[in-house]
Amino acid sequence: MVIQCMKKFSLLDYPGKAACTLYTAGCNFRCPYCYSAPLVIDTHKNREIPLEEIYRYLEKCKGLLDGICLTGGEPMIQHGIEDFLSRVRELGYEVRLETNGSFPGKLRRLISEGLVSYIAMDIKNSRERYGETVGIEGYDVENICRSVEYLLSGAIPYEFSTTVVLELHQRSDFEAIGRWIAGAKRYYLQRYLDSESVMQGGLHRYNDSIMQQALEIVRENVPSAKLRGW
Ligand code: SF4
How many angstroms separate the alpha carbon of residue 140 from the centre of ligand 1? 16
Residue 102 lies in a domain: yes
DSSP string for 145-192: HHHHHHHHTTSS-EEEEEEE-TTT--HHHHHHHHHHTTT-S-EEEEE-
pTM, whole model, 2 decimals?
0.96
Residue 149 lies in a domain: yes
Domain tally, the chain: 1
Query: Do 71 and 98 meet the contact criterion of CB atoms below 8 Å apart?
Result: yes
How many angstroms separate the alpha carbon of residue 98 from the centre of ligand 1? 10
Residue 30 lies in a domain: yes
Neighbouring C-alpha atoms within 13 Å toward the C-beta of 131: 7
Residue 187 lies in a domain: no
- 189 φ, ψ to 5°? -105, 130
pLDDT by residue (tens digit) across 51-97? 999 999 999 999 999 999 999 999 999 999 999 999 999 999 999 99
How many angstroms separate the alpha carbon of residue 156 from the centre of ligand 1? 23
State the distance between the two ends of the chain, measured CA to CA, in whole angstroms.
34
Binned at pLDDT 50, 70 and 90, residue 47 comes out as confident
Query: Do 125 and 161 meet the contact criterion of CB atoms below 8 Å apart?
Result: no
Residue type present at position 11: L
Residue 120 lies in a domain: yes
Protein residue whose Cα sits closest to atom 4 of ligand 1: 31
Range of the domain at 37: 3-161
Residue 111 lies in a domain: yes
State if residue 34 touches ligand 1 by the CB under 6 angstroms criterion.
yes
Residue 97 lies in a domain: yes
pLDDT by residue (tens digit) across 147-158? 999 999 999 999
Q: What is the CATH number of the domain that holds 143?
A: 3.20.20.70
